[in-house]
Amino acid sequence: MRMSNDLVSNEHGVDIAKEYQDFAYIVSHDLNAPMRHIRQFTGLLLDGCDQTKLNADQVQCVDFIYMALDKVEAMQAALLEFSRLNTRLSPFGRVDVAVIVDRVVQSLWGDNQACEVDFLCDEMPAVWGDEERIARLFYCLLENAMKFHPVIQDTRAISLSVYFDDGRWHFSIKDNGIGLKLEQCERALTMFKRLRPDDYAGIGAGLTLADKIVRMHGGCLQIKPREHNIGAEVVFSLPEAVD
């Protein structure tokens, strides 16, 4: 009876996960047309009137419409990406993390002259997994480490370290940014939960996507506050490469 109950529970969990994936796809995909129509008809209304006669409040309302559309479209794109994580997997293979990190670093701040980045990185290993997903994982996490810093802070200190244990590579990404409280760590992994929505751009999807990718590779992702609330640490693991 215990085995039967466990089987039913597992099947129920699979059903719920599939329902969520389907729901996320519907929300992200099928709402594209209505949102596109709102943008198009707003533009037509503006084209059909003398925009020089709009007062300040009316101009602000138009700006709010376009900002809201931009945000909803970004949220739709994130939901669509999340829903596709389980459905568009490439065969697992050997992934050179050093190559991926180099690409991500160049993409994020290779040409960024606005601030100085002090990036310390261990020698990166090869892991076993979906190369596209793992690249997305490191992009999301390093982008977060780069983004959440006080505006007046000129230098970002980011470190990426790794060690091997029990068939898996364990990674740690630390930064010296604004940090977070212990009670906020779990909430930060929830889709669209932004801890500082008024201070930083974004929609709050990166950590959720990263967490999902790590779990797809048999690991777990944790966020930890650092001492004295100076920055945060993200730890996760990936399987070792199979020769």
In tens, the pLDDT along 26-82 reads 666 667 777 777 888 788 777 777 777 778 888 888 888 888 887 777 777 777 777
Structure-block tokens of residue 159: 């470190």
Give the rounded percent of residues in the chain with a pLDDT score beyond 70: 72
0.75 surpassed by pTM:
no
Q: Are 31 and 76 in contact (CB under 8 A)?
A: yes
CA distance 174 to 186: 17
Q: What is the pLDDT of residue 151?
A: 59
Cα angle value 64/69/72 (rounded, 5°) = 125
The residue with greater pLDDT, 12 or 183, is 183
Q: What is the pLDDT of residue 165?
A: 94
Give the mean model confidence (pLDDT) for residues 149-175.
85
CA distance 242 to 116: 37
Q: What is the pLDDT of residue 16?
A: 53
Q: How confident is the model at residue 152 (pLDDT cuts 50, 70, 90)?
A: low
Q: What is the pLDDT of residue 10?
A: 46
Q: What is the pLDDT of residue 145?
A: 83
Q: What is the pLDDT of residue 135?
A: 93
**Mean pLDDT of the residues in the chain:** 78
Q: Lowest-confidence range among 94-108, 128-142, 162-176, 219-233?
A: 219-233
- pLDDT at 178 exceeding the cut of 90: no
CA distances from 149 to 137, 199, 236 (A): 20, 10, 22
Measure the N-to-C terminal CA separation of the chain; round to a whole number of Å: 42
Provide the greatest CA pair distance for the chain.
75
Q: What is the pLDDT of residue 202?
A: 64
Look at the block and give the residue holding tokens 């109950």: 5
Query: DSSP secondary-structure letter at 228?
Result: G
Q: What is the pLDDT of residue 113?
A: 56
Q: What is the pLDDT of residue 169?
A: 96
Q: How confident is the model at residue 24 (pLDDT cuts 50, 70, 90)?
A: low
Q: List the one residue out of 96, 98, 92, 203 whose CA is nearest residue 143.
A: 203
Q: What is the pLDDT of residue 239?
A: 94
Q: How many CB atoms lie within 10 A of CB 134?
A: 22
Q: How confident is the model at residue 229 (pLDDT cuts 50, 70, 90)?
A: low
Please compute, for residue 171, the number of CA atoms within 13 A of its CA located in the half-sphere on the CB side: 28
Look at the block and give the residue holding tokens 């533009």: 43
Q: Lowest-confidence range among 20-24, 64-68, 78-82, 121-125?
A: 20-24
